[in-house]
Chain A
Amino acid sequence: MAQMSVRGLTKHFGAVRAVENLTFDVPSGGITGFLGPNGAGKTTTLRIALGLVRPTAGEALIDGSRYADLPQPRRVVGAVLEATGFHPGRRGRDHLRVLAQQAGVSGRRVDEVLELVDLTRAADRRVAGYSLGMRQRLGLASALLGDPEVLVLDEPSNGLDPAGIAWLRDLLRGLAADGRAILVSSHVLSEVAQTVDQVVIVHEGRLRYAGRLDGLDGDSLEAAFLSLTGAGRSGR
């Protein structure tokens, strides 16, 4: 069953066609890699799916509803976006308390997610003093607060060290094994190849491939990616 489905999604910014008639599904119980070079329309697609950006045409549905129509959106979908920010003067724990209250989630859950992302000891420090990796983990904790069935992560391994990336991979695998639908965008192919069950590859806003990793032509994901996104041919 598809937890998230993108149907004919199109977004134009003036003359720029950021996303063009994009259709794909994100099934539950697995991790879907959302791949494409920078500027391929990945982030725009994710923002539309989360109701932050209005599509020019088409729609993205989560459990059959548009995000804005979900009665308790944070209990259904958790998201970490590049556009997600923190008030530098607010303590990590307080950031989560604000979001928990808004989503109707108990204060105990705040402690749980802090533990889950290993930020308990830093929780009472102000976010201004956090490293990039700690901010990523705080973002992840925010996304997990509502114990959502769908997780949307935009470049989640940015700022994580190799140990952090391995930790994230295990965490996501566990969450998918619980039956969640997970969509992870990335332009770093090597880390995605070891994590995902299926991939959606976009280039210049258009779908190039959607399906299982082993369904791709070529010797490696990288070779397939480069040929699908035309990078090899254009010599970039």
Chain B
Amino acid sequence: MTGLRNEILKLRTVRGPLLLLAAGQLVVIAGASGLFVSGADIADPNTPLRAVAHAGLVSIFSLILGIVGMAGEYRHKTVTDTFLGTPRRGRVVADKLVVYAAAGVAVGLVSSVVSTTITALWMSGKGGSLDLSDPAVWRTLAGCVVWNACFAAIGVGLGALIRNVVGAIAVALAWIALVEGIVSQLLGDLGKWLPFASGVALEDIPAANVQQLPPWGGGLVLATYAVVFAAVAVSTTVRRDVS
């Protein structure tokens, strides 16, 4: 328990996490608004789902949050004190996985509130309304929260593996912006098992021409990525000499 509380205290005593959260909300507001500004059909039942689903895209910020939480310890050399206090390094990584997944849930919840509010405003502005009794809206929001949690945990694993903040963020963003698309084409149907595709699957919005996992499958795949990255890191890079 001390290890978990310690990671929470570390998160709370720096400003980076809140700045990331705020930046994520700007993306939610701009992204959801963009959908309506560009003339989305409000009669289409998938339109409000696509709008609230912008809370899921904040998972890119949650991913960075996780990366900074782990690799940032190497960057600022606080990892020396961390390992002096807790010589069992695998324990440190495990505690971070749990705490950052929880932080991802928090980011996902805040983003969901913001995306839902923005969507409701635009829908009523366009003469419609956001139907909160529609279970599909809640399934999409739940998927967004889980996506954020899983990506934050993946960030911890990636940060532990690469141990360099800039390098890890570059790899993560390049993967999302470019590499996954290329790999996905090469893999065909197997592309649905890739991280970003698994996250999109979590949002549970029917999409034409795209193979996707069921939402629970997407969550399971993402959680597996997080644990595998972290486990590989603990048995390789994290064991290395700290200097």
Contacts and interface: CB of A to CB of B under 8 A. Distances in A.
A216 B241 CA distance: 35
A101 interface: yes
A64 interface: no
**Interface range for B:** 20 to 34
Contacts of B13: 87, 90-91, 94-95, 97-98
B87 interface: yes
Contacts of B81: 84-85, 99, 142
B39 interface: no
B64 to A, nearest CB: 16
Contacts of A91: 13
Contact of B242 (A73, A83, A89): A83
A92 to B, nearest CB: 11
A85 B82 CA distance: 10
B2 to A, nearest CB: 7
Contacts of B72: 87
Interface residues of A, number: 33
A74 to B, nearest CB: 5
A97 B242 contact: no
Query: Main SS of the interface on chain B?
Result: helix
B78 A53 contact: no
A104 B5 CA distance: 12
A149 B106 CA distance: 42
Contacts of A67: 87
A105 to B, nearest CB: 10
Contacts of B83: 51-52
A74 B84 contact: yes
B77 A83 contact: yes
Nearest to A145: B85
A194 interface: no
A39 interface: no
A151 interface: no
Nearest to B242: A52
A84 B2 CA distance: 22
Interface in A188-217: none
Given A53-B241, A73-B85, A101 B6 contact: yes
Interface of B: 2-3, 5-6, 9-10, 13-16, 72, 76-78, 80-88, 241-243
Given A50-B84, A51-B87, 7 more contacts: A47-B242, A53-B243, A84-B77, A98-B13, A102-B6, A102-B86, A104-B2
Interface of A: 47, 50-54, 67-68, 70, 73-74, 77, 79, 81, 83-91, 94-95, 97-99, 101-104, 142
20 contacts: A47-B243, A50-B84, A51-B84, A52-B80, A52-B83, A52-B84, A53-B241, A73-B84, A74-B85, A83-B80, A83-B242, A84-B81, A85-B80, A87-B13, A87-B72, A88-B76, A98-B9, A101-B5, A102-B6, A142-B81
